[in-house]
Structure 1
Amino acid sequence: MSILPNAQNFRVDNMHIYPSQHVQNTQDNRMDGWKMLLKNVASNALHDSRARFDAPKCDEGTRVEVTKELMDWIQDCDAPQRLLCMTGAAGAGKSALQQTIAGKCSDSNTLGAAFFFSAGDPTRNNLSYIVPTIACQLGLRNPALRDTISKAIEEDPLIFERQIRVQMDTLVVAPFKHVCASGELDRSTFPHCILIDGLDECSGEDNQAELMSTVKHCLLDNDLPFRVFISSRPELAIRSALDNGPEGYLYQLAYHIKLSDMYDATSDIRRYLWTRVRGIGNRSRDRRAQFPLWPTEEDIEKLVAAASGQFIYAATVVKYVSERRGSPVDRLRAVIDWTPEGGQQTRPLELLDILYRNILSTAKDLYEGVDTNRGRDFLLLVRAHQMNSDGRIGMVQSSTRDYDEIISLEEEGHQVLFSDLQSLVYVRQDPAYSKNDLYEQELADIVESYSDKWKERYQEYGLKEKR
């Protein structure tokens, strides 16, 4: 920039140098780290992101009990467990609960950061953006924290390429401790809730396990005020960390809510269906839908039974019935009368089909990709166990342990077979054995579907796969 690039040994008298440009450059340099951070943030993952417009949340008057329990835990900063993990079946309403909690925490100024994973979004189906996104939200809550995070990035511009545990220590833990020690941040009033939804939608078991481990070693093992709420399907990496076993390093540290087991959503689903379907009828031009006795109580109860406690079924029905290009009366009847063998062209539960198909396909690929699989067909084995659990094979239902041997699976082979279907099916002890039986430690598990709808979806998928 010099106009005398080769000049030397000269003096200029009466020259005034104004510091404003220097100050401006200093400010720009101080913001470089923050600008780099913003380039590595997944804005779609925020709870109020424009990309997540009209995200599912709990209707007023529904999920009241579980919502209260979650908020009580978040607000009780003296409770010893600073990690809450909520697991539940596919479609149990985990994301709706997270969205509802995010809104409540935002209103009460306790929301520090939120990250909503999504398998279909490349910015939020992996670990690349989660720590920068959390750090950015926390930095926006306090100017001193923001400046400290920026400085950390300037000192290590490659931080975004490092392991997420290093990122968490560098961008969250160390800056937070620094500003607390300097007195520039009051930890007692700082928004302390960190929400992570849909960990199962982060691709790869290793990535899911890495994030759980990072939360433990960085956020729980340090003296930080954060309370972390993670929701997920009960996939292997999550189950292993939370189980009371050798690998369960979070068993004592986490408050674990098993949503599908601990809270019966039947009454909430019934209320949701009545409210939503009646609302659709009132807005419809079809006079049949405006009739006070539509829908009938019988119709609603059939839908409630078919939902089997899974909100996603009810939400899928409502979405289909609300389509403006058709009569809600006819579309509701199509849902109630639909069967996989009916040959209908309409697919009222297509969104549910996609969800179940993706879970089943992933489980199939993982099972058949193991070298010890010996070429066995995953779908046929699942179907065989399902038929045995229904008592449709032979005169007497075999124990699952015995049935493994009948179909030439290794001992406890059904455990491996259903390992990646935990979000669709659950296991219970075989009633054929008493607790005093010699084989008490080998009690077989019987696979039970959450609903007949799951069986129908599976059967249809299996038939298509065979074709």
Structure 2
Amino acid sequence: MQASSSQGESFCNEDLRLRQSFSEPHACQDHGPTASFLSGASGFRMRDIQYIEASHVTVNTGRADTGNELINDGWKLLLKNASPNALYNSGAQHDSPGCDENTRIEVIDELMGFIEDRDNHPQRLLCMTGAAGSGKSALQQTIAERCENSGTLLAAHFLSAVDPTRNTVATIVPTIAFQVGSRNLSLKHLISAVVAQDPFIFRKSLQTQMDTLIVGPFRKFRDCADLDINTFPSAILIDGLDECKGEALQAELLTAIRLALLADDLPFRIFIASRPEMAIRTALEPGGHLHGVAIHLPLSDKYYAAKDMCRYLQRRFHGLSPRVGDPLWFTEKDINTLVKAASGQFIYVATAFKYISEPRGSPMDRLKIVLTWTPHGGQMARPFEALDRLYTNILLNAKEAYEAVDTHRGRDFLLLFRIYQLNSSQDLSFTVSPDILNSVLDLESNATQILISDLRSLVTLECGSRLREYHKSFYDFLDEDSRAKDLFVPIAHVYAHLAKCQMQNIMKYTLELDSFNEWEELMLSGSHKEILWEAVTHLGLSLKNDRGFDDEIVSFTQKGGWRKIDKLFPPAHRKALKESQAGDVSKCHTGLACLSRVPVYLKNREPETAAVLSKYLAKWIRDINTWSPANCNPKL
């Protein structure tokens, strides 16, 4: 900052010409005699006067300070459209501290290296994505403070979804322009002047705003001040892109940054942090407009923060020792338990510590609550209430975005996501491949990717299609109605939906039921055979928790569904035996046992349906041991 401050002491010629053009009267050159009138008069005031002679015109407005006032008016209008809460050192940031000492050292060094070591980092945009609560904002805060101390910070903007003054793109460019102008008086006047000349600039596109309020003034200042751009602050930080309202506006901001701020003749180095939501993810992926342009730092995948979390908790717990009166009030095992539960996400340990350190409570007692806490309806303690709010907000936004798509009408986002989540975590009575599950549910081939488009800050895909959670506590949240509340999907609803889909798939395929004895003889393509096999072998398991869709079972019975299963069950069972799929054979037996419960609870409500199913069940239970193929010794 020293170099830039000395440049700010003397205005460049361009700036002086600009101010003079506002403040000096305009007059044509005239060397002849001028008229004099009201000679000797006194006791009166003259306001504006126009004196016209044939040879020239002189206009005197009577206001020599017009230029300064216009510049001041421009700056005031800029401030009106900026967001003071978005500054890294604003009062609104008091609850968002930076990283603890001696934590996140490796990633901080990489980020500062990007900003300061221009020779080894030719790319001038770095996008850091990470799961919700992975510590992105704490890193941004730390980088902002370090850049300020080293004189490299030009501007920082911290977005927040809950703050209406900084959850929109409308304030981003004005806030950055304010900080740019605050770094140098000449830049301030240049920016103020363009605002005064175009007071509607804040209603124009983001790229136009950047070109007009940042790029244009900076180029003029650089050229007329003979500026060495290597000595001028260059770091522009934007935190929480995902917290900005409007996916399309997030994408517009990224495009404007690329087109305006990354021009070859500009020195800016830009660091953006965001959850890996749609706008930034598609921009960084192959084919996206930032692919190859930006450095992508996937925080949750590249840096595992377990050791940093241990250091964080040790330091914070030691700080509570005077309150407790015992320096040994916590153990290393306690810390390891908390860190393991965090699944690499800093927000978990930060939330736990905030609860434990409550001034009106006992840290020792509250630590015990966190370590042993299991949610239930009567539980009064809520140590992870802040996490639950985070999960709730993300899920609600994802639900709204998914169900707003016209081709998704009638779909239940929460139910579908719960099915995929339980299938991936193998918490259902059976597990199917994601591709087959897409077909079972009659969804698109890339249904999993579409479903989690707005949940990438909580889950990711492994092997292209299987879900993996970033936060173990997120799945705990989904499993507990006392935490998920209105977002809770009981597992019984999952099985009910799967059963309906399985019955539909069984009825969907038209088959000559007497034309085959083995599964391989079915006149269906490979994938359709798999879908049908899944429906036949798993229907009983899906019906085990049913109590709410008698109509579907009655309709299935009336359309000959059980007769169809009667022909399909034996070859399906033999297929599992031939392929030595002991687990699938066991599921066939378990499925029959589960099916045998259905007539019991249908007996009084739908006696005819119960009687039909009972007849087939008796036959299947009697004959199942005769379905084995010849010379087959399954490994059961």
- On whether the aligned pair clears a TM of 0.5, the verdict is yes
Q: What one-letter code is carried by the residue in structure 2 that aligns with 1:293?
A: L
Q: How does 1:43-442 map to 2 (within 5 A)?
A: 43-78=84-119, 79-183=121-225, 185-245=227-287, 248-282=288-322, 284=323, 289-341=324-376, 343-395=378-430, 397-429=431-463
Structure with the largest fraction of helix: 2
Counterpart CA distance in 2 for 1:227 and 1:410 is: 41
Counterpart CA distance in 2 for 1:26 and 1:139 is: 17
Matching residue within 72, 79, 85 for 1:38: 79
Matching residue within 459, 467, 473 for 1:447: 467
Sort the Cα spacing of 1:466 and 1:49 in 2 relative to 1 into closer, same or farther, 3 A. closer
8 A contact 2:191–2:214 mirrored in 1: yes
8 A contact 1:119–1:202 mirrored in 2: yes
Counterpart CA distance in 2 for 1:147 and 1:121 is: 30
Structure 1 window deviating more from structure 2 (380-389 vs 169-178): it is 380-389
Counterpart CA distance in 1 for 2:434 and 2:375 is: 27
Could you tell me how far 1:87 is from its partner in structure 2?
0.3
Counterpart CA distance in 2 for 1:107 and 1:14 is: 62
8 A contact 2:81–2:174 mirrored in 1: yes
Could you tell me how far 1:44 is from its partner in structure 2?
0.5
Q: CA offsets, 1:159-203, max 9 Å, x none?
A: 111111111110001111111111264422111000000000001
Could you tell me how far 1:221 is from its partner in structure 2?
2.9
Structure 1 window deviating more from structure 2 (217-226 vs 107-116): it is 217-226
Larger Rg: 2
Counterpart CA distance in 2 for 1:342 and 1:297 is: 31
Q: What one-letter code is carried by the residue in structure 2 that aligns with 1:237?
A: A
8 A contact 2:388–2:484 mirrored in 1: no
Q: What one-letter code is carried by the residue in structure 2 that aligns with 1:453?
A: S
> Which protein has greater RCO, CA pairs closer than 8 Å, 6+ apart?
1
Counterpart CA distance in 1 for 2:135 and 2:485 is: 29
8 A contact 2:424–2:467 mirrored in 1: yes
**SS of 2:376 mapped into structure 1:** coil
8 A contact 1:34–1:150 mirrored in 2: yes
Could you tell me how far 1:392 is from its partner in structure 2?
2.7
Could you tell me how far 1:342 is from its partner in structure 2?
6.3
Q: CA offsets, 1:392-448, max 9 Å, x none?
A: 3345x322111112222221211111111100001110xxxxxxxxxxxxxx51101
Counterpart CA distance in 2 for 1:374 and 1:49 is: 43
8 A contact 2:155–2:236 mirrored in 1: yes
Q: CA offsets, 1:267-325, max 9 Å, x none?
A: 0011101111221232x1xxxx3323221222111100111110111111111111111
Which residue in 2 is equivalent to 1:13?
40
8 A contact 2:478–2:484 mirrored in 1: yes
Structure 1 window deviating more from structure 2 (323-332 vs 71-80): it is 71-80
8 A contact 2:132–2:458 mirrored in 1: yes
8 A contact 1:118–1:198 mirrored in 2: yes
Could you tell me how far 1:145 is from its partner in structure 2?
1.1
Could you tell me how far 1:459 is from its partner in structure 2?
2.5
Q: What one-letter code is carried by the residue in structure 2 that aligns with 1:61?
A: N
Counterpart CA distance in 1 for 2:249 and 2:67 is: 39
Counterpart CA distance in 2 for 1:255 and 1:208 is: 18
Counterpart CA distance in 1 for 2:95 and 2:487 is: 35
Q: What one-letter code is carried by the residue in structure 2 that aligns with 1:150?
A: S
Counterpart CA distance in 2 for 1:54 and 1:374 is: 40
**SS of 2:231 mapped into structure 1:** coil
Q: CA offsets, 1:71-120, max 9 Å, x none?
A: 01100233320000000000000000000000000001110000000001
Q: What one-letter code is carried by the residue in structure 1 that aligns with 2:472?
A: D
8 A contact 2:392–2:487 mirrored in 1: no
Q: What one-letter code is carried by the residue in structure 2 that aligns with 1:271?
A: R
Identity %: 51
**SS of 2:160 mapped into structure 1:** coil
Which residue in 2 is equivalent to 1:439?
none
Counterpart CA distance in 1 for 2:377 and 2:303 is: 34
**Where does the alignment leave 5 or more consecutive residues of structure 1 unmatched?**
1-8, 430-443
Size of the aligned set, in residue pairs, is: 437
8 A contact 1:144–1:184 mirrored in 2: no
Q: What one-letter code is carried by the residue in structure 2 that aligns with 1:81?
A: Q
**SS of 1:420 mapped into structure 2:** coil
Please give the TM-score of this superposition, normalised by the length of structure 2.
0.66
Please give the TM-score of this superposition, normalised by the length of structure 1.
0.89
Q: What one-letter code is carried by the residue in structure 1 that aligns with 2:184?
A: N
Counterpart CA distance in 1 for 2:364 and 2:231 is: 52
Structure 1 window deviating more from structure 2 (30-39 vs 205-214): it is 30-39
Sort the Cα spacing of 1:463 and 1:140 in 2 relative to 1 into closer, same or farther, 3 A. closer
8 A contact 1:273–1:314 mirrored in 2: yes
CA RMSD between the two structures:
2.2
Counterpart CA distance in 1 for 2:394 and 2:382 is: 19
8 A contact 2:161–2:244 mirrored in 1: yes
